[in-house]
Amino acid sequence: MRAKSFIPVNQNASVIFHVIKLSETWKKYGECLTREYGITVQQWFILLLLANDPNIIYLQKHPQKKPLMAMELADALNVSRANVTNLLNLLLKKKLIFQVNDNLDKRRKRLKLTPLGKKLLKKLEKKRHAYNAILLNRFSEKQKQQIIRFLSQCIDFIEEDLKNRY
């Protein structure tokens, strides 16, 4: 028997906790997948950003004509510039990415995938697509569109609210 809580059941809170749990569970699966290749989920996400994955919300909102810079990656990952620098240094050391000078400002460095980085990403993508198919093919296209629309509206509202508050 469950202990009684002084906090009442609240559908809004339940939605939030389900989204958080889903995110944590997916991240845990991603960590199992990436560990096999010696990288982290955050490093994988950087590789996806550098590959210009059209499914990534940041890239949909900020279309790129040039390779990304560290500050843009930090923004996309919602982490500090120092944190992203550490992640990038590891990817550089593993020869999965390389830096190029910006055409207009030589002090700025842009980042690209190496052939080794592209090869690793292709392996990970094959596994990601297979697992996502197993999980998400249980839902209709209409259901998936409804989920995307709902989550997009939540993200937009939170981002707007944060902008207005801070």
Give the tens place of pLDDT for each residue, 132-152.
Answer: 999 899 999 999 999 999 999
Backbone φ and ψ for 101, nearest 5 degrees, come out as -70, 145
**CATH code reported for the domain at 15-165:** 1.10.10.10
Q: How far apart are CA 50 and CA 73, in angstroms?
A: 9
List 99's β-bridge partners, or say none: 111
* Domain regions of the chain by residue span: 15-165
Euclidean distance between CA atoms 2 and 121, whole angstroms: 45
Tokens coding 138? 């249980």
Q: pLDDT tens string for the chain (166 positions)?
A: 778 888 888 999 999 999 999 999 999 999 999 999 999 999 999 999 999 999 999 999 999 999 999 999 999 999 999 999 999 999 999 999 999 998 888 888 999 999 999 999 999 999 999 999 998 999 999 999 999 999 999 999 999 999 888 7
Match 């996309």 to its residue by tokens: 76
Residue from 72, 29, 33 nearest 49 by CA: 72
What is the reported pLDDT for 30? 92
What pTM was estimated for this model as a whole? 0.89
Measured from the Cβ of residue 116, the count of other Cβ atoms closer than 10 Å reads 13
